[in-house]
Every structure is written in structure tokens, then in C-alpha cells.
Amino acid sequence: MHEFSLAQEVIKLAEYEAEKNNAHILSEITIEIGNMSGVDPDAFESALGLLKEGSILQDAYLNIIRIWGRGVCNACKKEFEMNQRMDTCPECGAFPSEIRGGNEFRVVSLGIYD
Amino acid sequence: MCETCGCGNPDGFKIHGPYNTHSHGEDHVHEHEHDHGHDHTHSHMHSHDDDHQHSHDQTHQKTVKLNIDILSANNLTAGMNRRFFEGRRVLCLNMVSSPGSGKTTILEKTIISLIPSKKIYVIEGDQQTHLDADRIAKTGATAIQINTGSGCHLDSKMVETALEKLDIGTNSILFIENVGNLVCPAMFDLGEQKRVVVVSTTEGEDKPVKYPNMFETSHLCIINKSDLLPYVDFRLEEFIKNCRIVNTDLEIITVSAKTGEGMDKWFAWIFNQLKK
């Protein structure tokens, strides 16, 4: 249910931006979803696929890019890929002091027909 | 669709109230809110008429870079709510938890204790009914109920709409009791000054690591139902350790809304926020 309201936000956003660019039909939408953003990419893609019918995104290709967060280890400073927020350093088992990326949930671009 | 008059609410949520001890007995006013303050329209059906020239020629395609955070609309409205609260010197607290942790009971007891010295308002969020708003109204605070229908969280626009009906006085406290849900509300800034996550001793000491987003974005954790500690396997130390893994700045208070134990620490925390 949650991903449905997020998909609706995306459709509203796409329609608003398309109007600003005088576009009546979109060929593509590129969305980045971080693996720790709280958004399930599969559920979101399904929701958007269903809801886009009849909207400006009806024929658009849904380009969903998944981004993995990277943690910087608090102890050994090694940078490692994180699958979950609670992941620890694979070298020494400490928690990250810094997490880079993984929280994205943004519309990167729209493809419009000129 | 509205059962009262059969019309549809384009925003998907309904607001009932305000309720207070004076309006008790009146039925709710059914409001239909329309999108305001936004430049863009609702997502409605676009019919692809013949007068549109559809060119599917790939060479005439161009990419418009946006890099827009999808939740930015919510954050923008949340920022406006926050400025509003600051201007009126309203302390706004967003109470989040899973269903049944005792948020409403904590609020009832809190209002009874604070209302002699402070004006208190409550925004209640539930999928259906105004049962919680009714309970709050009996304590002397003014409550307004948001029914989200199928929605699983409150967002800043719902709060903005509720504020228009509430007419909050200056130097007051506003509690927002969010929809019972430890997942989605974590993502939605409502414009609150502080976020309070309520957990009860019957829920398990591993909650913070299982729902890290919620505990990471909160400022205070209230562990409620301390009176049940002798009967459950909940280990306070383990719970606190799990909180620290997720959020080193999280303040933690243990209370029993039922017996009153620890509630004075909660009240003291509230007064501390008022000084800021």
C-alpha cells in the first residue's frame, strides 16, 4: 500500500515537470532508489507500472536504478558495500562511522519527445 | 467514497473535528479538502486524443535532468509547518509507535497533568474512526482526527490541513499521534520539533534493530508498560544496547502510563523542550 502512494507522488511530479517542458508524452523516467531508503524497489516498480496507465507515464520506460550504500568503518576506515543499515565491516566487524549513499529516492530525469 | 453524501475525496483523507469538552455530543463535520498550495494538479486521466501528434521517432527524444527528491514535496510542507510552530511558539511532538503501545493512554495522562498550565492540542491519526480524538477530548484538550482510509502514515500536508481547522493558540503544545506503524511514518517529516517513539515492554527488546529507520529518526524513546516487566522476557539493558547501535543520541525513558511510574520524567522532558 505504501509504495502505491509513493508511485502517485512520482506521477504527479512527472506530470508537473512535463507540463513545464511542454511535453505531452514521456518516453522514459529514471528513478534512483537507495537500498536503505525504506522503499522496496520491486513493490515500487509494480505500483508505478499499474498506476501509470492513463497518465503521462503511460508509455514511458521505467528505468529504476538501485543504489547500494557504502559504509566507512569506524575502526579500520575500510569502505564496504552495505546491504542493510545494520551491516558491519567485513574486515573487523565494527559499525560504520559514516554511510555514503543508499538513501536515495529521486527522479533523476525524464525522457521527452521533442 | 464518502458514506454520508456519496462524493469522493480527491486527497484520500478525511478530517473530523475539532473536538473538545464543549463540542462533545456534536457529530463530526465532514470536510472535503482540495489540493491547495500546490502548483501541480492531481494525477488525473490524460486521454490521448487524436489532436496530439504522437511522434515515436527516437531521434527526437531529449532528456530533462531533474534530480528531484520524491519526498521533497512533503519536506517542503513540513518546513512550512515547522516555521508556523516556531512563529506561534508551539511545541510540536510527533508520537510514533506500533499499534497498541499505549500512545493514547500516555497522552491522556499527560494532558490531565499539563493542562492546568498549558494549552494542549492533539492531532490524531488512524485509518478509521474518531475514537482516539473522542478520548482525548474528554481530558480537556482540543483534538482533531485525521482518517487516512487506506493510508499507513500521516504526511505534512494532512497536518497542514488539520492546522487550518485547529486555530492553535500561542505558547501551547501540540501532540501528533501518528498512525500505529513502525515502518512508514519514519520517512515523513511532519514539521515536528521532536519525534517520540513509544515502545511497550510486551513488544520485544530487538525492536530498534528490526526497525532502525524509526529509531534513528527519533529523539526520545518511551518504554511504556513498565508495570508488566515482571511478567515478560523484555530485558531493559538489551533494549537500550540495541537503541545505541542505531542511534547514539536517543534519549530513553521508562514509564507506566497505567500506574504513573516514571511519568514525571516524561513531563520533565517536555518542559525541557519548552525551554529551547
- Contact state of A16 with B39 under an 8 Å Cβ cutoff: yes
Pick from A5, A21, A106: CB nearest B64: A21
Q: Tell which of B39, B66, B207 to mutate to test the A interface (max A CBs under 10 Å).
A: B66
**Shortest CA distance from A86: residue in chain B:** B209
Mean pLDDT of all residues in B229-244: 96
CA distance A68 to A84: 9
- Residue B141: the pLDDT is 94
What are the residues whose beta carbons fall under 8 Å from the beta carbon of B134, sequence distance 6 or more? Answer: B19, B24, B143
Total of domains in chain A: 1
- Contact state of A113 with B183 under an 8 Å Cβ cutoff: no
Closest CA to A51 of A90, A12, A93, A109: A12
Q: For residue A83, what are the domain limits? A: 2-112
Reduce the DSSP state of residue B93 to 3 states and report it: strand
Residue B12 has pLDDT above 80, yes or no: no
- B2, with CB counted inside 10 A (0-12, 13-18, 19+), is exposed
Cell of A4: 502505491
Residue B263 counted as domain residue: yes
Mean pLDDT of all residues in B214-229: 97
- Residue B164 belongs to domain with CATH number: 3.40.50.300
Reduce the DSSP state of residue B261 to 3 states and report it: coil
B79-120 per-position pLDDT tens digit:
999 999 999 999 999 999 999 999 999 999 999 999 999 999
Q: For residue B140, what are the domain limits? A: 72-275
Cβ B223 vs Cβ B254: under 8 Å: yes
- Contact state of B209 with A86 under an 8 Å Cβ cutoff: yes
- Contact state of B61 with A13 under an 8 Å Cβ cutoff: no
A39-84 per-position pLDDT tens digit:
999 999 999 999 999 999 999 999 999 999 999 998 899 999 998 8
CA distance B175 to B120: 8
Residue B236 counted as domain residue: yes
Residue B175 counted as domain residue: yes
- Residue B89: the pLDDT is 96
pLDDT band at B9 (very low <50, low <70, confident <90, very high): low
Shortest Cα distance, chain A CAs vs residue B115, angstroms: 36
Q: Which residues of A touch B (CB under 8 A)?
A: 1-2, 5-6, 8-13, 15-17, 19, 21, 23-25, 27-28, 31, 38, 51, 54-56, 58, 85-86, 95, 105-114
Total of domains in chain B: 1
Cβ B92 vs Cβ B192: under 8 Å: yes
Residue B28 has pLDDT above 50, yes or no: no
Q: Give me the helix-helix angle, B72-88 and B156-166, nearest 10°.
A: 30
Residue B13 counted as domain residue: no
pLDDT band at B26 (very low <50, low <70, confident <90, very high): very low
Sort out which chain B residues have CB atoms less than 8 A from A108's CB and list them.
65-67
Residue B49 has pLDDT above 90, yes or no: no
Mean pLDDT of all residues in B165-187: 93
Pick from A58, A86, A106: CB nearest B68: A106
Minimum mean pLDDT range among B16-30, B135-149, B221-235? B16-30
- Contact state of A110 with B66 under an 8 Å Cβ cutoff: yes
Residue B230 has pLDDT above 90, yes or no: yes
> What percentage of chain B exceeds 70 in pLDDT?
82
Shortest Cα distance, chain A CAs vs residue B90, angstroms: 30
The structure's pTM equals 0.79
Please give the DSSP secondary-structure letter assigned to residue B20.
-
- Contact state of A2 with B40 under an 8 Å Cβ cutoff: no
- Residue B38: the pLDDT is 37
- Contact state of A109 with B245 under an 8 Å Cβ cutoff: no
A1-41 per-position pLDDT tens digit:
578 888 988 998 999 999 999 998 899 999 999 998 889 99
Sort out which chain A residues have CB atoms less than 8 A from B70's CB and list them.
6, 9-10, 13, 31, 105-107
Residue B66 counted as domain residue: no
- Contact state of A110 with B64 under an 8 Å Cβ cutoff: yes
- Residue B175: the pLDDT is 97
What DSSP assignment string belongs to B118-155? SEEEEEEEESS-SHHHHHHHHTTSEEEEEE-TT--S--
- Residue A43: the pLDDT is 93
Shortest Cα distance, chain B CAs vs residue A111, angstroms: 4
- Residue A80 belongs to domain with CATH number: 3.30.2320.80
Cβ B182 vs Cβ B148: under 8 Å: no
